[in-house]
Chain A
Amino acid sequence: DTAVSQTPKYLVTQMGNDKSIKCEQNLGHDTMYWYKQDSKKFLKIMFSYNNKELIINETVPNRFSPKSPDKAHLNLHINSLELGDSAVYFCASSQGRLLMNTEAFFGQGTRLTVV
């Protein structure tokens, strides 16, 4: 069973559209994240949720709205997509608000291409 799963794996869409990426983890973790990897492979955190509560929002445009219906899910909705949003988006999860006892487990990534 996949520990952290994201859907879809690939997403090609036109500028201006609204799209969602879904993430689910079956590890029983209480903290989930979204990271963005740009074309130069640079990975940067976007959001972090702990027990459905937003704890990190790293100056991401408000066109990006994460939603956590429960601890096991953290979806990412993007409005009015722009060319610069093209990237690979990774979902991750970990146990606890602290990194002390665990690492973050990452999903397979969603490659978003905006045309």
Chain B
Amino acid sequence: AQKVTQAQTEISVVEKEDVTLDCVYETRDTTYYLFWYKQPPSGELVFLIRRNSFDEQNEISGRYSWNFQKSTSSFNFTITASQVVDSAVYFCAAGVQGAQKLVFGQGTRLTINP
């Protein structure tokens, strides 16, 4: 069975600081998919990124970047030059081929203070 751990329950930083959200996953499958979702105060879940287990390339999208390290089973998320609008709960999730479900981490509540 898969398991996703987000050890940081809450993080609070001042605007413009860089912040990294950690995600560690466990799975016995060789083919799996990793995701990050954002849940802003309004409550909806917003998809940020999907990565498959065969693609360890890091990804950058604007101020967001993701570091996928199979050796440490981690898929960390970094926000550069954070902004108040980045304040949200961020979820890391994993899915395995054929299982047809996402297993979510506990979420990290990120607060960006002005």
**CB–CB A56/B100 < 8 A:** yes
Contact check: which of B37, B45, B93, B100 meets A31 at CB < 8 Å? B100
B97 at the interface (CB under 8 A from A): yes
**CB–CB B33/A43 < 8 A:** no
Nearest to B52 among chain A residues (CB) is A100
Interface of B is mostly: strand
Interface residue count for A (Cβ, 8 Å)?
29
Nearest to B107 among chain A residues (CB) is A41
Contact check: which of B43, B50, B52 meets A108 at CB < 8 Å? B43
Q: Given the known A-B contacts A41-B89, A103-B47, A103-B50, are A55 and B104 also in contact in the complex, defined by CB atoms under 8 Å? A: no
Other A-B contacts than A44-B104, A90-B45, A98-B100, 9 sampled, CB-CB below 8 A, are A41-B89, A41-B107, A41-B109, A42-B106, A43-B93, A92-B45, A99-B97, A105-B47, A106-B45
Q: Can you list 28 A-B contacts with CB-CB less than 8 angstroms, sorted by A residue number?
A: A41-B39, A41-B89, A41-B107, A42-B104, A42-B107, A43-B107, A44-B104, A45-B102, A55-B100, A56-B100, A56-B101, A88-B43, A97-B100, A98-B97, A99-B33, A99-B100, A99-B102, A100-B52, A103-B35, A104-B47, A104-B102, A106-B37, A106-B44, A106-B45, A106-B46, A108-B44, A109-B43, A109-B44
